[in-house]
């Protein structure tokens, strides 16, 4: 359902504004709403032609699916449970559908290999529960190192489908602090829910920001349609965009902020979806097919979720990066070959269309969500520190235990709004 938000076609040159929010994802929308409730007059600039950011319900194949964020994680404290209730949008418990089937090179995995994989997967949580990371941080790969060359890669491979990154690049201390709890889904689309929350806000679409000047009494933001001078700015673009250099800062960001950015990078959790028509080959809706012959090339398929004519593949880490950089057609060929091995050659004939929202190569994302490098677990808190008293960076990357989630981004946006709402109007 489309959001009924205010959209203007242009930004007049050198206009004055109260507070400008850059980015209309979950953090930006939450910040703008909190500012408005505090009596301020925020303007939201969004580079895309839609709102929601990495929370996006894609309907390009006919039946819709969440191409980005899918779960309302740790629902016990996630603000989206209440937001959904206020908007009269239903949520539901996560369903495992038709169960799991494991494959190796397209053939059902042997029972012994399945058992070994299950046991290896449990090792990360077991070790994080017992290890003392107080003295120093380490990577998840180091944490699992003594499992040996056969079991350690298997134990770490599950992170490719949750964090979207190789275990050698994940801070164990940051991973250990992530919140956990029950997951909910939004049957009508999490991205649609986030978009609905933007109703009534002053959001300007197709307005990528190229420069921010913050050495004067006001912050000057250069967008596609001109400059805006504002009393404050909340910057909610993904870490990948900040690190890409597509936004120029004058003067450059403080050393502490630059150091924080240097310690965070973007994972590459990726989905590729197919519209499939006709024969379902006896597969129960919601069954998961996991191709796991090579741990570094783990690919999970959600087969006909909720009975829809869709098959959705998930992968992460360097495997996902290579698929993203190869482009839609090459990725389609590779993934269809995997599916045909598991289901049968006739499956190719049932595939009618593909959607490949590759966040890694998306210029307005540059990845799926943020990951702290080993030894840099303090980077999130450092990144959230106000800059010059007038700029705050906010989003899932600054959400502490709520990092990597829409809920965390929302809480971070609200905190940023509270910090800037005190500025003299």
Q: For 397-424, what is each residue's pLDDT tens digit?
A: 999 999 999 999 999 999 999 999 988 7
pLDDT at 272 over 50: yes
The reply to whether 219 and 332 lie within a common domain is no
3: in domain: no
pLDDT at 173 over 90: yes
> What confidence tens digit (pLDDT) does each residue in 280-330 have?
999 999 999 999 999 999 999 999 999 999 999 999 999 999 999 999 999
271-to-220, 298, 356 alpha-carbon distances in Å: 37, 12, 7
Structural domains in the chain (count)? 2
pLDDT at 7 over 60: no
The reply to whether 42 and 172 lie within a common domain is no
pLDDT at 11 over 50: no
Domain boundary (331, 346, 368) is at: 368
The reply to whether 235 and 349 lie within a common domain is no
102: in domain: yes
276: in domain: yes
The reply to whether 273 and 358 lie within a common domain is yes
CB-CB contact of 183 with 77 (8 Å): no
Which CATH number covers residue 146? 3.90.660.10
Q: So what's the pLDDT on residue 130?
A: 85
19: in domain: yes
113: in domain: yes
The reply to whether 144 and 217 lie within a common domain is no
The reply to whether 336 and 212 lie within a common domain is no
Domain of residue 132 covers 95-182+268-368
Q: So what's the pLDDT on residue 65?
A: 98
The reply to whether 279 and 316 lie within a common domain is yes
The reply to whether 231 and 104 lie within a common domain is no
The reply to whether 315 and 406 lie within a common domain is no
pLDDT at 79 over 50: yes
Mean pLDDT, rounded, of the chain: 93
246: in domain: yes
Q: So what's the pLDDT on residue 96?
A: 67
The reply to whether 174 and 131 lie within a common domain is yes
66: in domain: no
Bridge partners (DSSP) of residue 272 are: 313
Q: So what's the pLDDT on residue 191?
A: 98
The reply to whether 252 and 205 lie within a common domain is yes
Reported as a pLDDT band with limits 50, 70 and 90, residue 15 is low
Which CATH number covers residue 238? 3.50.50.60
3-state secondary structure of 418: helix
Q: So what's the pLDDT on residue 145?
A: 87
Under 8 Å CB-to-CB from 23, ≥6 apart: which residues? 44, 45, 46, 47, 53, 235, 236, 237, 395
CB-CB contact of 269 with 369 (8 Å): yes
The reply to whether 231 and 310 lie within a common domain is no
64: in domain: no
Q: So what's the pLDDT on residue 98?
A: 78
């Amino acid at each position: 359902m489309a959001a009924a938000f205010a959209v203007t076609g242009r930004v007049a040159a050198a206009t004055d504004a109260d507070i400008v929010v850059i980015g209309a994802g979950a953090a930006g929308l939450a910040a703008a709403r909190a500012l408005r409730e505090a009596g301020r007059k925020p303007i939201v600039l969004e580079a895309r032609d839609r709102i929601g950011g990495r929370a996006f319900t894609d309907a390009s194949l006919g039946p819709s699916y969440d191409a980005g964020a899918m779960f309302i994680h740790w629902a016990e404290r996630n603000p989206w449970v209440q937001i959904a209730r206020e908007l009269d949008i239903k949520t539901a418990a996560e369903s495992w559908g038709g169960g799991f089937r494991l494959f190796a090179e397209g053939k059902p995995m042997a029972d012994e290999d399945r058992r070994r994989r299950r046991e290896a997967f449990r090792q990360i949580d077991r070790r994080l529960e017992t290890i003392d990371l107080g003295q120093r941080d380490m990577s998840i790969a180091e944490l699992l190192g003594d499992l040996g060359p056969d079991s350690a890669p298997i134990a770490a491979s599950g992170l490719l489908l949750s964090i979207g990154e190789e275990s050698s690049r994940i801070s164990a201390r940051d991973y250990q602090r992530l919140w956990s709890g029950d997951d909910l889904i939004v049957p009508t689309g999490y991205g649609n829910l986030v978009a609905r929350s933007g109703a009534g806000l002053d959001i300007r679409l197709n307005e990528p920001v190229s420069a921010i000047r913050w050495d004067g009494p006001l912050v000057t933001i250069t967008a596609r349609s001109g400059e805006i001078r504002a009393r404050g700015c909340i910057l909610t673009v993904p870490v990948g965009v900040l690190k890409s250099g597509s936004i120029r800062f004058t003067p450059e960001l403080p050393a502490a902020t630059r150091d924080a950015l240097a310690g965070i990078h973007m994972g590459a959790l990726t989905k590729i979806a197919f519209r499939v028509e006709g024969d379902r080959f006896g597969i129960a809706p919601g069954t998961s097919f996991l191709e796991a012959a090579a741990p570094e090339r783990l690919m999970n398929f959600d087969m006909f979720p909720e009975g829809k004519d869709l098959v959705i593949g998930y992968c992460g880490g360097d495997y996902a990066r290579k698929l993203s950089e190869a482009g839609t057609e090459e990725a389609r060929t590779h993934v269809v070959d995997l599916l045909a091995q598991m289901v049968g050659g006739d499956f190719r004939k049932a595939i009618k269309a593909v959607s490949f929202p590759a966040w890694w190569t998306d210029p307005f994302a540059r990845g799926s969500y943020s990951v702290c490098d080993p030894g840099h677990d303090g980077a999130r808190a450092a990144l959230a520190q106000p800059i010059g008293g007038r700029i705050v960076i906010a989003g899932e990357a600054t959400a502490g235990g709520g990092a990597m989630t829409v809920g965390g981004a929302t809480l971070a946006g609200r905190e940023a709004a509270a910090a800037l709402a005190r500025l003299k109007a």
